[in-house]
Amino acid sequence: MVTVALVLFLSVVSFLLVHELDAVRQREWQFFFAPLPVSDETAARIFTAVHAPLFVVVLVAIESPTAQVVVDTFAIIHAGLHFALRNHPLVAFGSLFSRFWIYGGALLGVLHLVLVL
C-alpha cells in the first residue's frame, strides 16, 4: 500500500539519486580521488561503478523502517558535509540546481523522520 510516508521516503531516495547524477556532471570524483595516483578517467569509472551496489542496497531495503531511518539520516549528514565543504575548490555544487537536490533531500529526510518517529 502506498502511504504518505512511503512517498516521502521515495522522494528522499529520488533526490539523492538525482544528486548523484549531478555529481557525475560536477566531476565529484576529483574530490575523492585527489590524493590518489589514478587518472581522471579511472577515477570517474570507479566513482560511477561504486554507486551500482549502493543503489542496490538502498532499493532492496526500501521498505525496511530501519533502512529508511538510515537513508534519512544519511541525507541529513550528507547535506551537512556539503555545507561544510561548500568553499572547497574541488566541490562544485554551488548552483541553485545542485543545492536543491542536496538540501531538498535533507529536508525531505527530516520530514520523513518526523512522520515515522
pLDDT at 60: 94
Q: What percent of the chain has a predicted confidence (pLDDT) above 70?
A: 100
The DSSP-derived string for 19-47 is HHHHHHHTTTHHHHHTTS---HHHHHHHH
Residue 91 belongs to what domain range?
4-18+29-116
Q: Give dist(CA 115, CA 117) in Å, integer.
A: 6
Q: Tell me what the mean pLDDT of segment 71-80 comes to.
A: 98
Residue type, 35: P
> Residue 45 domain-assigned?
yes
> Residue 77 domain-assigned?
yes
Q: Among the residues of the chain, which ranges form H helices?
A: 4-25, 29-33, 40-60, 65-84, 96-116
Count how many domains the chain has.
1
